[in-house]
Chain A
């Protein structure tokens, strides 16, 4: 039977809508399952003013049969085989006839009892009780009160339409009694109307200028955009997040194509698109990858026959662009170098000094990284960019559009005639903004990005901030992901722990936490971030654990290790080898270091193993050192049959101490080579249960 719920509210923020729908879906399923009500269909949809749940539920709860036990059989049935007084009393108390009693086997023995059938309640009754509870469980990131009530919600609520099988349910939520009516579009058709089913609800809403299904609103927006752009032979600059937001912002979408004076095209594209996007929620329009003096907006309206909505939006955008042009002109009156002087009085972090202090550290860290990356020829450019990269925080444009930080600095540096390496590095140094975003395309940009992020991380951890749960006030996670992504994308090879040491040194005595603790925390934290990235890339949990085993001396090696394991995991040698490696590892557990002396070998199998290992190690070690893990692993596989023969033919724990020590020493040497490749003990092979499962950090 059909269930339909609509909670009519004042305009909800788009971000609240999405989380509310997920919550409603989950809670309805959970409550109905717990109440044994069959759900054949459940869907949640919304507009800015409506949270809607529509479903197809069984008419009633499933019937249930339970066994009720009474006295033990020995008490309930007399020697004559007839029911005793105790049995009769039990039947009476349960309101059943004696003939319904039967012997029931339980773990405690045989008892008298009977099967009690309980008929399920009608779903109407279940819903009447659970709907207010489900609605009451909705929570939002920011909640408000209104009027005189202490009740909190995202925005005030106005009406509760709630039908089951076409009729309103007998329930109330925060003073709203469930009804069978709702209203149309706030401006275009605010009248009230009654509905009896979801089909009718949807149709009547559409007649009253509300497209209730977000999927339909999306289709309408996309079709209208295509239609508007066809004559221009242009395309929209794709912006999926903006599209999602706009879908949740309107009840009756209407795409508006507007124009702005061409003279504004002399503004940088970054400025144009940000002014359009951030303030006005407009899409940019491109032809041949060039920005056109047009924009696309989504109105909540029926039509724009008089062109009033278009011209109104055009006026507003023009004013915004005039402001941007004013900033672009004013900002360039002061050189970046002069502006950078002002960074002295801008606090980076209370205990970590000013942005000028940060710039000085970035020069040092950048220089160190250039040496390590054999990029000495850009050292000068990196140092110059480091000194200027934060100056744009003091420009009017960045104050107006904070998301343009870095980019504006780069653009202003370009205007001032700095070399490309310098202005590009400034432009790119906040990249990547997330895992989906591109890393800096230039080496100086990548170096500055690494230096800036790691400087922030080390500094913040160094004054005692730690990340826990959802709390990450200084963006440590985001910065650490950025660092990992840049290293992985650019395949940079340098010692990560030594870089951390270098950043720690750049801070001098500013930090309040001991250097070793900061370093330990950061290495662990980065291992967690790398695990997160690799899981996102779809690698197996256990293989990631194995790849992280040797540590993050080289960040890039962790990726190469897990790739190697992943590419070889299906090969026939893989599983036997892993089992052998684990066996080796297990034997050595808790054994003190033992000395290996090749002269002491007795058996052929141990001599064979030693010579095979010597050759394999000689070949594999340089491969491991340069990160060629696939080839190294392929060679190491060859040790498996020899190890196997060794275990079959040689008693490791020999009675004679000398022999035992020597054999353990050999296995320890082999294990050392293994642990440079991966921590094989983490790998789960068939027939084993997962050794260790944990949630990603």
Chain B
């Protein structure tokens, strides 16, 4: 099964669970959780089911294309079900079986792992799902987002597509994975990893990044005041990505780090508060 077969299978499986299949969001994010299809949709009381592929950028994880396991950009398959169904663990286990994994020959574990993202004021309780010791999924009952207590509680299932695919293909090197029958992960991504690693660690201009961070933060605040919450949130995502780049350039001291994260969180929380104001009865 190739990466794209894996994606098609998951699409089919989650569509059958009633999920709407969203398209990838067009901004850099650190995790699928941060896109509007999750962030805004978990805040209100309306039921919501969605599945989508989202590239996740973690600049500090770059290894110049030389490490068989770590990359500065990887693909997540993100599922949100709100409210969390009673049998969500069983549904998830069936999704693995639907990929042709004979689970009785393996060791599937739900291993305590509580997730939090201080930048978007979010946390949840759950597990990392381990398959023969390999973390293939983050499984989280979302408790809070944008500083807001969530009700009903959404469940978030985030598959690491490369991890899962390495398991399915029994391969040791991410670049050997088949994306399709005739395109490999190396063909698609190796040059990108090499160049972006150099950009993330050495080439990115720190002053430009700092200015970009400040400009986006300022813009976000202005847009919040005008009630343009979705554009304001985009600005926060830009802040977050610039922050990550500054971090990989080692340009942030410990105190500065705390301050910058708090700055983004304050903006995001303000967006979440405005977004939910007056929606309580919905």
- A residues sitting closer than 8 Å to B (CB atoms) are 10-11, 13-14, 48, 142-148, 150, 155-156, 158, 186-188, 190, 249-250, 254, 256, 280, 297, 299-302, 304-306, 308-309, 311-313, 315-319, 322-323, 326, 345-347, 350
For the complex, give the distance between the alpha carbons of A347 and B253 in Å.
Answer: 8
Contact in complex: A346, B253 (CB < 8 Å): yes
In the complex, what's the smallest C-beta–C-beta distance from B133 to chain A, in angstroms? 4
For the complex, give the distance between the alpha carbons of A350 and B67 in Å.
Answer: 37
Given contacts A144-B141, A309-B132, 12 further A-B contacts (CB under 8 A): A10-B89, A142-B114, A144-B153, A147-B153, A155-B125, A156-B86, A186-B108, A249-B111, A309-B107, A312-B167, A326-B63, A345-B253
A–B pairs, 30, beta carbons within 8 Å: A11-B109, A48-B110, A144-B124, A144-B141, A144-B143, A146-B141, A155-B125, A156-B84, A156-B141, A186-B108, A249-B111, A250-B109, A256-B107, A300-B107, A300-B109, A305-B105, A306-B105, A308-B105, A311-B170, A312-B107, A313-B132, A318-B172, A319-B172, A323-B69, A326-B63, A326-B67, A346-B254, A347-B253, A347-B254, A347-B255
Contact in complex: B107, A301 (CB < 8 Å): yes
Against A, the Cβ 8 Å flags (1 = close, 0 = not) of B67-98 are: 11110000000000001111001100100000
In the complex, what's the smallest C-beta–C-beta distance from A606 to chain B, in angstroms? 70
Contact in complex: B155, A315 (CB < 8 Å): no
Against A, the Cβ 8 Å flags (1 = close, 0 = not) of B46-74 are: 00000000000000000100011110000
In the bound complex, residues from chain B placing their C-beta under 8 Å from that of A145 are 141, 143, 151, 153
- Chain B CB count within 10 A is highest, among A14, A256, A319, for A319
Determine if B127 is an interface residue (Cβ-Cβ < 8 Å). Answer: yes
In the bound complex, residues from chain A placing their C-beta under 8 Å from that of B141 are 144-146, 156
In the bound complex, residues from chain A placing their C-beta under 8 Å from that of B63 are 326
Contact in complex: B132, A350 (CB < 8 Å): no
Nearest residue (CB) in A for B108 is A187
Contact in complex: A302, B133 (CB < 8 Å): no
For the complex, give the distance between the alpha carbons of A153 and B155 in Å.
Answer: 16
In the complex, what's the smallest C-beta–C-beta distance from B97 to chain A, in angstroms? 9
For the complex, give the distance between the alpha carbons of A302 and B103 in Å.
Answer: 11
Determine if B104 is an interface residue (Cβ-Cβ < 8 Å). Answer: yes
Contact in complex: A11, B106 (CB < 8 Å): no
Q: A10-B110, A145-B151, A315-B172 are in contact. Are A350 and B103 (CB under 8 A)?
A: no
Against A, the Cβ 8 Å flags (1 = close, 0 = not) of B241-268 are: 0000000000001110000000000000
In the complex, what's the smallest C-beta–C-beta distance from A467 to chain B, in angstroms? 24
Against A, the Cβ 8 Å flags (1 = close, 0 = not) of B173-187 are: 000000000000000
In the bound complex, residues from chain B placing their C-beta under 8 Å from that of A146 are 83-84, 141, 153, 155
Nearest residue (CB) in B for A315 is B172
For the complex, give the distance between the alpha carbons of A150 and B151 in Å.
Answer: 8
Contact in complex: A315, B111 (CB < 8 Å): no
For the complex, give the distance between the alpha carbons of A146 and B143 in Å.
Answer: 8
In the complex, what's the smallest C-beta–C-beta distance from A184 to chain B, in angstroms? 12
For the complex, give the distance between the alpha carbons of A347 and B255 in Å.
Answer: 7
In the bound complex, residues from chain A placing their C-beta under 8 Å from that of B124 are 144
Contact in complex: B132, A147 (CB < 8 Å): no
For the complex, give the distance between the alpha carbons of A596 and B126 in Å.
Answer: 76
Contact in complex: B125, A322 (CB < 8 Å): no
Sorted nearest first, the 6 A-B pairs with minimum C-beta distance are A312-B132, A299-B107, A144-B125, A11-B110, A13-B112, A313-B133
Q: A11-B112, A347-B253 are in contact. Are A316 and B134 (CB under 8 A)?
A: yes
In the bound complex, residues from chain B placing their C-beta under 8 Å from that of A143 are 125
Determine if B152 is an interface residue (Cβ-Cβ < 8 Å). Answer: yes
In the bound complex, residues from chain A placing their C-beta under 8 Å from that of B67 are 322-323, 326
Contact in complex: B125, A147 (CB < 8 Å): no
In the bound complex, residues from chain A placing their C-beta under 8 Å from that of B109 are 11, 249-250, 300
For the complex, give the distance between the alpha carbons of A250 and B90 in Å.
Answer: 18
Nearest residue (CB) in B for A310 is B132
B: contact size bracket: 35 or more
In the bound complex, residues from chain B placing their C-beta under 8 Å from that of A144 are 124-125, 141, 143, 153
- B residues sitting closer than 8 Å to A (CB atoms) are 63, 67-70, 83-86, 89-90, 93, 103-112, 114, 124-125, 127, 131-134, 141, 143, 151-153, 155, 166-167, 170, 172, 253-255
For the complex, give the distance between the alpha carbons of A316 and B111 in Å.
Answer: 16
Nearest residue (CB) in B for A299 is B107
For the complex, give the distance between the alpha carbons of A299 and B106 in Å.
Answer: 9
Contact in complex: B153, A301 (CB < 8 Å): no
In the bound complex, residues from chain A placing their C-beta under 8 Å from that of B127 are 11
In the bound complex, residues from chain B placing their C-beta under 8 Å from that of A301 are 104, 106-107
Contact in complex: B104, A302 (CB < 8 Å): yes
Q: A142-B125, A146-B155, A323-B69 are in contact. Are A317 and B105 (CB under 8 A)?
A: no
For the complex, give the distance between the alpha carbons of A594 and B28 in Å.
Answer: 84
In the bound complex, residues from chain A placing their C-beta under 8 Å from that of B170 are 311
Nearest residue (CB) in B for A148 is B152
In the bound complex, residues from chain B placing their C-beta under 8 Å from that of A156 are 84, 86, 141
State which of B70, B106, B114 has its C-beta within 8 Å of the C-beta of A312.
B106
For the complex, give the distance between the alpha carbons of A306 and B143 in Å.
Answer: 40
In the bound complex, residues from chain A placing their C-beta under 8 Å from that of B166 are 315
In the bound complex, residues from chain A placing their C-beta under 8 Å from that of B104 are 187-188, 301-302
In the bound complex, residues from chain B placing their C-beta under 8 Å from that of A254 are 107
Contact in complex: A147, B86 (CB < 8 Å): yes
Nearest residue (CB) in B for A342 is B250
Contact in complex: A148, B151 (CB < 8 Å): yes
In the bound complex, residues from chain A placing their C-beta under 8 Å from that of B105 are 304-306, 308-309
For the complex, give the distance between the alpha carbons of A306 and B107 in Å.
Answer: 12
State which of B83, B93, B107, B131 has its C-beta within 8 Å of the C-beta of A147.
B83
Nearest residue (CB) in B for A49 is B110
Contact in complex: B131, A322 (CB < 8 Å): no
In the complex, what's the smallest C-beta–C-beta distance from B42 to chain A, in angstroms? 13
For the complex, give the distance between the alpha carbons of A134 and B114 in Å.
Answer: 27
Q: A147-B86, A308-B106, A312-B167 are in contact. Are A319 and B133 (CB under 8 A)?
A: no
For the complex, give the distance between the alpha carbons of A79 and B114 in Å.
Answer: 82
In the bound complex, residues from chain B placing their C-beta under 8 Å from that of A319 are 68-69, 172
- Chain B CB count within 10 A is highest, among A146, A188, A308, A323, for A146
In the bound complex, residues from chain A placing their C-beta under 8 Å from that of B107 are 254, 256, 299-301, 309, 312
In the complex, what's the smallest C-beta–C-beta distance from A102 to chain B, in angstroms? 62
Nearest residue (CB) in A for B86 is A147
In the complex, what's the smallest C-beta–C-beta distance from B143 to chain A, in angstroms? 6
In the complex, what's the smallest C-beta–C-beta distance from A343 to chain B, in angstroms? 11
In the complex, what's the smallest C-beta–C-beta distance from B123 to chain A, in angstroms? 10
Nearest residue (CB) in B for A256 is B107
Contact in complex: B133, A312 (CB < 8 Å): yes
Contact in complex: A316, B132 (CB < 8 Å): yes
In the bound complex, residues from chain A placing their C-beta under 8 Å from that of B110 are 10-11, 48
For the complex, give the distance between the alpha carbons of A150 and B143 in Å.
Answer: 11
For the complex, give the distance between the alpha carbons of A133 and B141 in Å.
Answer: 26
In the bound complex, residues from chain A placing their C-beta under 8 Å from that of B255 are 347, 350
In the bound complex, residues from chain A placing their C-beta under 8 Å from that of B125 are 142-144, 155
Contact in complex: B112, A308 (CB < 8 Å): no
Contact in complex: B69, A322 (CB < 8 Å): yes
Q: A10-B89, A319-B69 are in contact. Are A147 and B133 (CB under 8 A)?
A: no
For the complex, give the distance between the alpha carbons of A300 and B132 in Å.
Answer: 10
For the complex, give the distance between the alpha carbons of A323 and B69 in Å.
Answer: 9
Q: A306-B105, A312-B106 are in contact. Are A187 and B93 (CB under 8 A)?
A: yes
Contact in complex: B70, A147 (CB < 8 Å): no
State which of B70, B83, B133, B172 has its C-beta within 8 Å of the C-beta of A148.
B83
In the complex, what's the smallest C-beta–C-beta distance from A509 to chain B, in angstroms? 21
In the bound complex, residues from chain A placing their C-beta under 8 Å from that of B134 are 312, 315-316
For the complex, give the distance between the alpha carbons of A10 and B68 in Å.
Answer: 34
Contact in complex: B133, A297 (CB < 8 Å): yes
For the complex, give the distance between the alpha carbons of A345 and B172 in Å.
Answer: 39
In the complex, what's the smallest C-beta–C-beta distance from A453 to chain B, in angstroms? 21
Contact in complex: A316, B133 (CB < 8 Å): yes
For the complex, give the distance between the alpha carbons of A10 and B155 in Å.
Answer: 14
